[in-house]
Structure 1
C-alpha cells in the first residue's frame, strides 16, 4: 500500500523565521477552510495525522475547500494470468481520476478512468515489480500517488479436481461451466427447437453429433477477422461421428443387414461434418446466435474442391466428379488446425469404415488394369466383404438420380467404365485428406489439400511462423502402429498474409506445394524427417511392394510410402500441438492394444497388462503417452530433431518401474491422452512457459474415473533423463532404454472431469484466455436402449435430470468467477 499526502506548509518548531510579511500558515488555513460549509466529511484520516486533532477541532464549518489527499492500494502480489484490482481513494470530491502504468511489462488497464481499475498480470520469467500511478484532478490541480504490484512467473492456480464417476462436468472451485451448443440446436430461425426424442430432422441446419476439434475465431463488428475480439466470434467445430441409437425414436432400423430407411440414413449423414456458429458474450454470459448469417453446416453432402498435386488425378474420378477436381463432403472429422491467416483445417480420420466393398471387387479392379488399387485399399483397411458403417449404401432413394447413398458403395462394376466415371469405385480416394474452410465466408467452397497426404488424419497444427522461413504443419495418423508426419511449405512465411482477405488463396500459397515428411525415432534420442518425394530412395516404379508412378501416387498412398522409407510405427499418433514459445512439437500417442513386448522400442517402450476392476484387463500400451520433439536449430525447415517422452499415462497405483514411469499421483494420473492444445500467445497462458491442455479418450481407466482434461506446464525436451524399461507380455520379455522428461509433479494437474461415458475433446479459448471452450463427446454412449440412457448430460449439469432424457454431445464454455485467465 502506498500513500501520498499533500503538504501545505513548513513548520520548523515554534520559531518564526519568516520576516517577509506574508500571511502566516494559520492565516492561510483559516482563509482556505472558511470557504467550505463543512470540514469533517471531506478530510481523510491521513489529514488528521498531518495537522492534528486540534486543527480539526478549531476549523469552522463554512470552509468549502479542504486539503485533498489520495491513497492507492492493490490486491497485492500475484502470478501471471491472475486479475489485479487497483483501488484509489480521494479525501474530497474531484473532477476526474485516472490510472497510468509507470513501470513493468505493459498491460491493459480496465476502467482506467475510475477509482477502481483492474488488469491481468502478465507472464514474466521471474518475479517482476510493476507500478501504477493514481491521479486525482480537481480545479486544474493533479494530486498523485503510486502503488506497486509484484508479479511472479506463470503457475497452475487451481486445486486439482478429484477423479469422478458422476454424470456432470466437474471443474475447480472458482470456475463456472455453461453449456453453449448442443446436438440438434437450431442454426436458423425457421428450424424448430430440438425435441431430442428421435423425431428431429434437417440436421443440415442443426448442430451435428460428437463435437470434436474446435477453434474460436474472433469477429469484428463488420464481420471480419479480429484477433483481439473476446466477446464475439465464430466457433468452428467438428462432428466426428454419431450416437446412432439416440437419433431415432427407438434406435436405428435394419442396422444389421439393411436396407436402411432413407430418412434415417440422411439424418445420420447430416449429423457428421462441421459446424460454423456465431457466439457472443453479453454481461459475462455466453450464448450462440441462432439467426447469424455466419452459421453454417458442412456435411458429407457439401460440395468440395480438390487442390494440390492430386487434383484432377485419375484416381479421384467418380460418377459425381468425372474430371477428379471436385467431390462431396467430409466425414469422421476428428482434430483440427488453426491457420495464421484465419482459416480452419478439419481432418478426416476413420473415413475408411463408411465404405461398402463386396466380394469380387479386387478381381474387377485387376481385370480393369487397376490391380495396384487393391494393395492401396488393403493398406487403408477397405477390405473385401465390408458392409460399411451404418449401411448407407443399402438405401433405395425415392429419387433414382440421388447419389447421396450409392456413393458409399466402393464396389467396382465390371459392366461400367474402368476409369471409375460411371460408379463410385474411386470414392474412397476422395477421403483421408486435410480440408480447409474459410469460416468468415459462408459461400466459400472448402478445399481438400492433397499435398498434406492421405491417411487417418487426426489433426494438423502449424508450427511457429517466422518471416522468411518455410512453415511446418504437424500431423498424426491415428491408427495402431502408424506414423507422425510434417509438411513443410515451399513458400517462406510473409507476415502480411495473416491479414489477407482472400484466405483460401493464402492456403493455396502455403498448403499446395511443399515437402511431406515422416518421422523416424532413433534409440539415442535423435530422429530424422524422411521426405516422401517421388523418385527419391524407394519411392519409384521399381519398388516391389508397391510401384509408385508419380508424386500424386505417393500422396494418395502416404502410408505405403512411409512403410517403404522405414518410418517408426507409433502407438496411435493423435493430436499434435506446438509450444508457441519454444516451438517444440508434442503428439499424443493415445494407446495401442497391439503393441507387444517383442515390438517395444525407445519411442514406444511399454507393453504390459493394465488391470480393471469392472471388466477384463487391457494389454499392450493401454494408457498411452505423450512424445515431444525439438527441431534441430529450432527451425521448421529442419530435417532432424531431438525427442523424449513428456509423460506416460497410468493409474497412480500401477508399478512405477514398468508402467507409471512418470510418477503420477492422485492429482494428475490419467489414461489415453487424445486432445492436445497450448494456450494462445495472445494471453499469459501462451507466454513464457505456456500451459498445455491434455484431453483423454479412455477405456482402460474408466472403472476409476470418467474422462478428463488436465493442465500442464510441461518443460522442455531433455529436461529429464534416460530410463531402462522392461516389458513382459504373453510370455515375452524385452528391455529398452527410453528418454523421459522430468517428473511432472505439481506442474501437471487435473482440471476437469466429464460426465458418464464421454470423451473430452476439442479445446480453444478467446484471445484473452478468460473463456475456455471444451467439447463433451458422446455421453452415455454405452446404452443399449435409447429410452433407457446411461447418461442424462447436459440436463444433469444444472441439477437433477428428468429420467429418460437422452444425452447430447455439447460445447461448454468455462470461465473464472474472478475474470482471470483459465488455469493460471
Structure 2
C-alpha cells in the first residue's frame, strides 16, 4: 500500500540530528567570564561589555573546541649566585588547554648553555663575570591550540668566589672533603689496563706491571676524546685520557714478604716488577650516570716504563755525552724514570719530567778516580754536581741477572766505567746517567708513537714543565723547577712564535719539534728590591765558555746537559727546593712552590728565601731547622709577555702552623682553616671554565714531614691576588747557634681566599691534579699511603673498600684489617654538578 504521508522535497535543515550534550550559548558566556574574572579580575558587567565585541568569535571558537587565550605564566630561579655554581630556572603555566611546549631562552647577559631534563625547568652554570651582572631568561609556554605567553626571569651573578667550608685537619686514614662533594676511586696501583691481564690480588703475588697501573701516582693531565673514542676532542668532559706519572714505589708492599736478597743479589722477577712500576700510564676514562670509571680494554691504554724506547731531540741529540752501548750515536735511549710533575702542552701532548733519577745508578768504589783518569776531571765534576755518587744504586737493581740473556735493561743502571771499553762510552754505560734528567714528550692519542726527550729544556731534577699563556704571535715560554735544596728556577723560550692553528694539529709531536727543539734556556736571579732577571744559558754568553773557571763548557750540548753548572756560573739565585710551577691563566703570573730547605741556615737567607728557624713538632721531641714549612713564590714578567728577560716578584704565601710566631714564621697570618706545610703540587683551574677565569682558582698540594704530627698531607684552594699586592717585611731568623735578619716582599694575607679542601690518608702525599674542561670533575692523586709500614704491618689500608658517593673515602671496614695500601687516582665532583671549589 502506498504511503501517502511521505513528503519528498527540499529540507531547510530545521531538524534535530545531533545527540551530543554540548554547551549552550549561555554556558559559553558563563564559562568565559567566570574564568576571565577569576584569572584577571573585573566585574561581570565589564565582562558583558567585552563579550559584546567578541561574542561571535568566542562562540564559534568554543563550539569548535578552540580557546586562543594565551596561558598565564610565571617564572623563578634559585636566586642570586656566583660564578661556577648551578642555577635552576622554574617556569609555571596555567591554561584550560594542555601545555605542549615550555622553553627558556636567554635574553641578556653573558651567554650560558641551558640544559633541561624536566618540562618547565632548566639549569645552567653561572659564568665568570668580573663585576656583578644580571642574566635575563625568557620562559615561554605554548598550549595545544598554539596560544603562548612569556615571562622574564632575572638572575644576579657575582664574580667567582670559593664556595665550600674549609675541611678540618685530620690524622685519620681517610680522604676527607667538604660535605657537599663526592670522591670516588678511579685507578689504583695494579689495576689491569687490558682484558688479558688478571684482576689485582694485592698480596705481593701480582706480576706483569707493564700492563697494570704503576705505583706512586703523581703529575697528571686529562685529554678529551671524541664520542667515537678514537680522535681528540679537547672540550669533551665525559670521555678522555688520563695520563699520569708513576714516580717511585712502596717496595715493601709489592712482594709477598717484602724485598729479598739472595746471596747478595736481588731476584730478577722482583727487580723487573719494581722497574715496571715506574714510568707513565695512559688510560681511558669515561663518565656515565653511575660516575667515573676507567676503560680496561681501551685500545689507547698504554704503560711507558724504564724499558720503553725513546728518541732524543734538540741540541744535545747526537752529542758524545749521550753515547752508550745501546745508542753509540747518542740519538736513542730506553725508558724514563722517577717521573714527578708534568706539563700539558698547548698542542695536546703530555710532558713528563724526570726528577730524582740520579739515585738509581750504581757507581762502584774507585769510579771517580778511574773516570778522572780515563775521561777527564770534567766528567767527575759534573757527576758530583748532579748527585751521582759512588753507591750501589736504589733498590740494588744491578745485582740482579738480566731477564733475557744478553739484554742490558738492568745493566744500564750500572754507570761504572769498564776500562776495557772505548773512552767514548760506546762500549759500556758510563754515560747512561746523561740520558736521564730530561723532559719527555708523549702523544697520548697515539699508542704507537715514540716519546721524545726534549734536550733544549735542559737536564736537572725536573719537577715539572708548565707552559705560559699561548698567545698568537708571541714566543711561548715553559717554566721549570729543579727539585733539590738550593737549586734554581728555569724558563725555556721557544724561537718560534705561537700559531693558534697548531693547537689542533694532527701530528702533535711534530708541533713539539717546532716549539721545543730550538730556543733559549734561562735561569732566574731574584734581586732584593723585588726585581729579577732571566739569564740566558747559551754557550759563548755570560761567561759560558771553555775558559770558564768554574767549569769549562765545550758547546751548547755541554751547557744544557750540565745546566746546574751553568746556573752556578752565571750567579742564579739558590732556592728552597723549587718544585711545581703554575701559570695564572688570567694574568700570566708564574707561581712556584719552594717546598722546604733544611740546609738554609740564618747566614744563608736572602730576600726570596728569607726564613731560617727552629720548628718544633707539636707532638714530638724532634726539631726541624732551616725553612721547614716552605713557601710559594710568584713572578710577573715585564710587559706581561713570555718573551721578557726581566720580572718582578713576591712571596704569595709562607707555609706555617697557625700557632707559630706571626712576626717571624707565620708571615701570611694562616689560621686553622688554611695553615699548611711543604707546598709541592701546584695547578690553576682551566680557562675553559669559571675556575680558570677572572680570578682563577689555585690548587696547592703538600708533601710534608714537618707538620704530619698535626695533620696528614692536604690540598687547598686559593684565589690569589697579584704580585705586589702586599708589602715588605723584615724578619729575624733564629738558628741553633746564629741569628740574622732578612727583608722580603710578601703578598697580602690570603685570609678566607685560601681554604683547606682535602686531607688525605695516613703517610700519603697529595700530588697530581687536573680537571675536565668544564671544571665539574677534578682528578687528584693520592701517593704512597702507609709508606712507613711493612707488608705484614701496613700503617694504612687506604683505599680498601671505598664507598662510592661519599664525601669521605674510608680506608677500613669489617674484614679489611691488614689490607695493603695502594696509590690511587680519585675523582671529586660537587653533588649539585657545579664547578669544583666555586
- TM-score > 0.5, shorter chain as reference: yes
Of 805, 810, 813 in structure 1, the residue corresponding to residue 824 of structure 2 is: 810
State the distance in 1 between where 2:392 and 2:40 align.
98
CA 1:204 to 1:11, structure 2 compared with 1: closer, same or farther past 3 Å? closer
Distance in structure 1 (CA, Å) of the matches to 2:828 and 2:569? 46
Helix, strand or coil: the match of 1:795? Answer: coil
**1:158 and 2:172 matched:** no
Query: Larger C-alpha radius of gyration, 1 or 2?
Result: 2
CA 1:66–1:537 in 2, change beyond 3 Å: closer, same or farther? Answer: closer
Residue 90 (structure 1) aligns with: 93
Looking at structure 1, the residues matched to 537 and 621 of structure 2 have their Cα atoms a distance apart, in angstroms, of: 43
Q: 1:10–1:589: structure 2 CA closer, same or farther, 3 Å change rule?
A: closer
The aligned counterpart of 2:283 is: 277
Q: 2:326 aligns with which of 316, 320, 324?
A: 320
Partner SS, residue 434 of structure 2: helix
Query: Aligned equivalents of 1:673 and 1:265: distance in 2?
Result: 32
1:662-673 matched pairs, under 5 angstroms: 662-673=668-679
Residues 372 and 546 in structure 1, CA contact (< 8 A), matched pair in contact too: yes
Q: Is the 8 A contact 1:218 1:228 kept in 2?
A: yes
Q: Secondary structure at the match of 1:310?
A: coil
- Structure 1 CA distance for aligned equivalents of residues 798 and 117 of structure 2: 42
Q: Distance in 2 between matches of 1:452 and 1:810?
A: 30
Structure-2 separation of matches of 1:590 and 1:773: 22
In the alignment, which residue of structure 2 is the partner of 1:739?
A: 745
C-alpha contact 2:536 2:542 (8 A) present in aligned 1: no
Q: Does 1:645 align with 2:663?
A: no
Gaps of 5+ in 2: 1-34, 804-809
Residue 75 (structure 1) aligns with: 78
Show the counterpart of 2:835. 821
Tell me if the contact between 2:70 and 2:147 (Cα under 8 Å) persists in the aligned partners.
no
Q: Which residue of structure 1 lines up, in the alignment, with residue 457 of structure 2?
A: 452
Q: Distance in 1 between matches of 2:795 and 2:225?
A: 38
The answer (yes or no) to whether the contact 2:461–2:482 under 8 Å persists in 1 is: yes
Q: In the superposition, relative to structure 1, how do residues 86 and 283 fare at CA in structure 2: closer, same or farther (>3 Å)?
A: same
Tell me which residue corresponds to 2:10: none
Q: 1:615 to 1:247 in 2, by over 3 A?
A: farther
Contact in 1 for aligned 2:680/2:701 (Cα 8 Å): yes
Q: 1:7 to 1:96 in 2, by over 3 A?
A: farther
> Is residue 136–residue 144 contact of structure 1 (8 Å, CA) maintained in 2?
yes
Does the aligned pair in 2 maintain the 1:294–1:440 contact within 8 Å? yes
Distance in 2, Cα, partners of 1:816 & 1:527: 41
Within 5 Å, give how 1:242-257 maps onto structure 2.
242-254=249-261
User: What is the DSSP-based 3-state SS (H/G/I as helix, E as strand, rest coil) of the residue aligned with 1:281?
Assistant: strand
Relative to 1, partners in 2 of residues 1:563 and 1:681: Cα closer, same or farther, differing over 3 Å?
Answer: same
1:719 to 709, 721, 725: 725
Corresponding residue of 2:151: 145
Cα distance in structure 2, aligned partners of 1:246 and 1:794: 14
**From 226, 240, 251, the counterpart of 1:233:** 240
Unaligned ranges ≥5, structure 1: 37-62
> Which deviates the most, 24-33 or 704-713?
24-33
How far does residue 369 in structure 1 lie from its aligned partner after superposition? Answer: 3.5
DSSP-derived class of the 2:520 partner: strand
Whether the 8 Å contact between 1:610 and 1:622 is mirrored in structure 2 is: yes
CA-CA distance at 1:366 after TM superposition:
2.6
Cα gap change, 1:250 to 1:17, in 2 (>3 Å): closer
Query: Displacement, 1:228?
Result: 1.1
- Which residue number corresponds to residue 122 of structure 1? 127
Q: Pairwise mapping of residues 414-493 of structure 1 onto structure 2 (< 5 A)? A: 414-493=419-498
Is residue 2:689 matched to residue 1:688?
no
> 1:383 Cα deviation (Å)?
1.6
1:25-44 aligned within 5 A? none
Tell me: CA distance 1:371–1:11, structure 2 relative to 1, closer, same or farther (3 Å).
Answer: closer
Relative distance call for 1:213 and 1:633 in structure 2 (3 A) is same
Q: Deviations over 1:452-511 (max 9, x none)?
A: 000000000000011110000000000000000000000000000001000000000000
Residues 356-406 of structure 1: CA deviation (Å, up to 9, x unaligned): 00122223223324331111100000122x110011111122533021111
Distance of 1:403 and 1:13 partners within structure 2:
100
Cross-structure match for 2:25? none
Give the Cα–Cα distance (whole angstroms) in 2 for the partners of residues 6 and 254 of structure 1. Answer: 93
Q: 2:639 aligns with which of 633, 642, 649?
A: 633
* 1:301 equivalent in alignment to 2:307: yes
| Partners of 2:384 and 2:37 in 1: CA distance | 89
Report the TM-score when normalising by structure 2.
Answer: 0.92
Instruction: Please report the TM-score for the alignment, with normalisation by the length of structure 1.
Output: 0.93
| CA separation of 1:111 and 1:194: change in aligned 2, threshold 3 A | same
Q: CA deviation at 1:99?
A: 1.0
Per the alignment, in what secondary structure is the counterpart of residue 374 of structure 1? helix
After TM superposition, give the deviation of residue 134 of structure 1 in Å.
Answer: 1.1
- Rounded to whole Å, the distance in 2 between the matches of 1:494 and 1:26 is 70
Distance 1:7 1:266, change over 3 A: farther
Q: CA RMSD in A?
A: 2.1
Does 2:704 correspond to 1:698?
yes
From the superposition, tell whether residues 427 and 31 of structure 1 become closer, same or farther in structure 2 (CA, over 3 Å).
Answer: same
* 1:608 partner SS: coil
**Aligned-pair distance for 1:66?**
6.8
Instruction: Give the deviation of 1:91 after TM superposition.
Output: 1.6
- Given that 2:614 and 2:736 are in contact with CA atoms closer than 8 Å, whether structure 1 keeps it comes out as no
- Cα distance, 1:421–1:163 mapped onto 2, change above 3 Å: same
Match of 2:14 in 1: none
Which residue of 1 is the match for residue 383 of structure 2?
Answer: 377
Q: Following TM superposition, by how much is the alpha carbon of 1:73 offset from its aligned partner in structure 2, in angstroms? A: 1.1
1:100 and 2:105 are equivalent in the alignment:
yes
Return the offset for 1:89.
1.9
Question: Relative to structure 2, which stretch is displaced further, 587-596 or 128-137?
Answer: 128-137
Q: 8 Å contact 1:379–1:559 — kept in the other structure? A: yes
Give the Cα separation in 1 of the matches to 2:111 and 2:47.
49
1:255-266 equivalence runs, <5 A? 258-266=264-272
| 2:531–2:649 Cα contact (<8 Å) kept | yes
Quote the Cα distance in structure 2 between the aligned partners of 1:292 and 1:319: 36
Q: Matched residue of 1:169: which SS?
A: strand
CA distance in 2, matches of 1:23, 1:428: 100
Question: Are the equivalent residues in 2 in contact too, given 1:9–1:25 (CA < 8 A)?
Answer: no
Shift of 1:260: 0.7
1:761: which partner in 2? 767
Are 2:37 and 2:43, in contact at CA under 8 Å, matched by a contact in 1? no
Change (3 A) 1:70 1:555: same
Quick check: 682-691 or 142-151, which moved more? 142-151
Q: Is the 8 A contact 2:84 2:127 kept in 1?
A: yes
